[in-house]
Amino acid sequence: MNNIEKKQINNLIEISKQLRIDVVNIIHGAKSGHIGGSLGLADIFTALYFHVLNHNSNDPNWADRDRFVVSNGHVAPIYYTALAHSGYFPVSELSSLRKLRSRLQGHPNSLELPGVEISTGSLGQGLGVACGMALIAQKDKEDHLVYCSIGDGETQEGSIWEAAMFAGHRELSNLIAFTDRNYIQIDGNTEEINKLEPLAEKWKAFNWNVLSANGNDMEEILNAFEKAKKENSKPTMIIFNTKLGFPVSFMDGVSKWHGTAPNDKEAKSAIKEIEEYYLKLNL
């Protein structure tokens, strides 16, 4: 890469390993939670919080921060682990996931947890909010960027396309959205439930700059975000191709793992596969 050294990439990869292990442990401990998307998005959230986003965990409401809207709020476990490890709240608090009176509920609550821009979980709503944030920043001539994460199953919501039309029309070049394209939603394969392809062409038709990358490859992720930042006339959609539960083999492509917590044996096996995967990388 041009702007980041191999050593930095390896450091990010090491962080993603810890986030994945934490995701398995806290969902196993809660006996509830969305593990598949959280593991699949671990590399992207690591890239965002430890390299891409302009943010300050010591001042969560810093006016010049980049905004990040996690529209697919059910991936809260990876969201929480990224926030904790980047300093927004103690890592020890992660074990309280989905517990009574915990700040770490099944979907993120902006009234309770620092670093959460907006409470999400009702699918299809976050992109519209991100558009509003980007429009205000554009009108006020502010320099910060607005990022938004959406799921591919979520893309079946009509409100996504209303927001897409608005952003394209307003030429919100300060908006960078990305889709977790793992082809799996809670009921099965997206193409069997309600076909999304040709997905890239759909976004292009709404006047978006469209990029595609491997969402489980740190270098490709970083390159994609760098390209997106250079766009100055359109909003950008990055279609990140990911694998559900990556790199845990028994979760790949199995819709059960969209929102099922692993039992003792499955959690142990998942962590073993994660550790073996990173060992093979020879960082």
What's the average model confidence in pLDDT over 32-38?
A: 98
**With pLDDT > 70 as the criterion, what percentage of the chain qualifies?**
99
Cβ-based neighbours of 117, under 8 Å, separated by 6 or more: 67, 68, 69, 110, 133
Backbone angles phi, psi at 212, to 5 degrees: -130, 145
- Determine the 3-state secondary structure of 282 from DSSP: coil
Q: What's the whole-number average pLDDT of the chain?
A: 97
Q: Is 31 left (phi over 0), alpha (psi -120 to 50) or beta?
A: left
What does the pLDDT read at residue 283? 82
Question: pLDDT grade, residue 25 (50/70/90)?
Answer: very high
Whether the pLDDT of residue 4 is over 80: the answer is no
Cβ-based neighbours of 151, under 8 Å, separated by 6 or more: 37, 71, 72, 74, 75, 123, 179, 180, 185
CB 211 within 8 A of CB 200: no
DSSP, res 59: S
**With pLDDT > 90 as the criterion, what percentage of the chain qualifies?**
97
Whether the pLDDT of residue 202 is over 90: the answer is yes
Backbone angles phi, psi at 204, to 5 degrees: -60, -35
Whether the pLDDT of residue 263 is over 60: the answer is yes
3-state secondary structure 84-120: HHCCCCCHHHHHHCCCCCCCCCCCCCCCCCCCCCCCC
- Please state the pTM of the whole predicted model: 0.97
Over the stretch 146-195, which tens digit does the pLDDT of each residue have? 999 999 999 999 999 999 999 999 999 999 999 999 999 999 999 999 99
The tokens describing 179, both together, are: 């889709």
What does the pLDDT read at residue 1? 47
Domains of the chain by start residue, with CATH: 6-280 (3.40.50.970)
Q: How far apart are CA 15 and CA 5, in angstroms?
A: 16
Question: pLDDT grade, residue 205 (50/70/90)?
Answer: very high
What does the pLDDT read at residue 276? 98
